[in-house]
């Protein structure tokens, strides 16, 4: 009996600790829906519109997550500041607002995780510094855009209706058209992008990437399943894409995880040592939307480019 009591006590304590550990665990995430052929089902219409800034504002330095009250106040202040129906007639600020509020679709909520920035690594929520070479390239492009354009090639990709950050990859929320339709077949995932109406076709069959000589605006994507997460690796970007200063050596890894019937966690990691001083990562929740996806006929109505070039010619004549 002298030796039995301590042994029983130890066993009971161990059982209680094990039970407590199980009780304290977060509830298991339900298995995602499956396609008829067994892959996790990401299909549907999704939006990534949000008022959460891409990088953490200076006033939120050191704070990674907002409280519910702070998130509500941030939403109120942000929506008030972005209200394009505030008119200041005759001012440059009024002209700069361009459209009225009807045309914008920026989102009205902080992301569900209440992040203070979409960038989650580095911990300060800021995109790392560019390398010296990449910064020189960015400065040269900015200087060129400040001067009168000799032709469309002197303007940025957005103005030329070639590529928007909304389309990606990576897919970054913008002022409007933040909607995507995901479709799947046994060997591919297809993402229809509302902005500029691009389509990404991502093979899942293990084929190799395109040869290095083949460069594309949206890179060359290959996908695979890692459990319930779709992992998409994209290389072969053109050096003209310049996502946040990136170059042709950009290697982008995206992760799509369906967390419930109404949400996908979308994460991406940027790895480009010739352009950034370190890799970095962002997380952007995507939520179900009713749609539909509309055609964005950018080139057909790109009167802005015509006006930019005609304005440049008039500026030259007046010198």
- Distance set, CA 69 to CA 50, 78, 124 (Å): 17, 14, 22
Q: What is the pLDDT of residue 28?
A: 63
Contact 255, 284 (CB under 8 A): no
Q: What is the sign, positive or negative, of the torsion defined by CA atoms of 298, 303, 304, 309?
A: positive
- The span from the first CA to the last CA of the chain, in angstroms, equals 106
Q: What is the pLDDT of residue 11?
A: 37
Distance CA 32, CA 29 (A): 9
Which stretches within 149-226 are classed as H helix?
Answer: none
Three-state secondary-structure class, residue 287: strand
Q: pTM for this structure?
A: 0.85
Q: What is the pLDDT along the chain (319 residues), one digit of tens a residue?
A: 444 334 433 333 443 344 344 344 555 667 789 999 999 999 999 999 999 999 999 999 999 999 999 999 999 999 998 888 877 777 777 777 677 888 888 899 999 999 999 999 999 999 999 999 999 999 998 888 887 888 888 888 888 888 989 998 999 999 899 999 999 999 999 999 999 888 999 999 999 999 999 999 999 999 999 999 999 999 999 989 899 999 999 999 999 999 999 999 999 999 999 999 999 999 999 999 998 888 887 877 778 888 888 988 998 888 7
Residue in the block written with tokens 């519109």: 49
Distance CA 268, CA 283 (A): 7
């Amino acid at each position: 009996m002298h030796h039995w009591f301590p042994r029983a006590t130890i066993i009971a304590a161990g059982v209680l600790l094990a039970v407590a550990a199980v009780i304290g665990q977060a509830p298991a995430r339900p298995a995602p829906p499956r396609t008829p052929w067994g892959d996790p089902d990401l299909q549907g219409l999704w939006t990534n519109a949000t008022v959460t800034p891409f990088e953490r504002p200076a006033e939120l330095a050191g704070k990674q997550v907002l409280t519910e009250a702070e998130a509500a106040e941030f939403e109120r202040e942000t929506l008030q500041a972005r209200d394009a129906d505030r008119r200041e007639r005759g001012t440059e600020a009024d002209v700069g607002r361009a459209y009225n509020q009807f045309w914008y679709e920026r989102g009205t909520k902080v992301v569900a995780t209440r992040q203070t920035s979409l960038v989650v690594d580095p911990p300060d929520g800021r995109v790392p510094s560019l390398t010296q070479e990449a910064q020189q390239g960015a400065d040269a492009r900015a200087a060129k855009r400040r001067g009168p354009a000799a032709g469309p090639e002197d303007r940025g990709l957005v103005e030329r209706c070639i590529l928007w950050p909304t389309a990606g990859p990576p897919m970054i929320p913008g002022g409007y058209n933040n909607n995507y339709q995901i479709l799947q077949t046994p060997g591919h995932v297809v993402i229809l992008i509302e902005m500029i109406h691009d389509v990404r076709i991502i093979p899942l069959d293990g084929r190799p990437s395109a040869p290095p000589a083949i460069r594309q605006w949206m890179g060359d994507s290959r996908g695979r399943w890692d459990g319930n997460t779709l992992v998409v690796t994209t290389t072969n970007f053109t050096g003209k894409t310049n996502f946040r200063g990136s170059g042709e050596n950009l290697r982008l890894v995206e992760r799509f995880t369906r967390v419930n019937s109404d949400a996908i966690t979308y994460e991406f990691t940027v790895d480009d040592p010739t352009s950034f001083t370190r890799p970095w990562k962002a997380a952007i929740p995507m939520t179900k939307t009713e749609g539909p996806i509309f055609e964005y006929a950018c080139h057909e109505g790109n009167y802005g480019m015509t006006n930019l070039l005609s304005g440049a010619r008039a500026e030259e004549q007046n010198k």
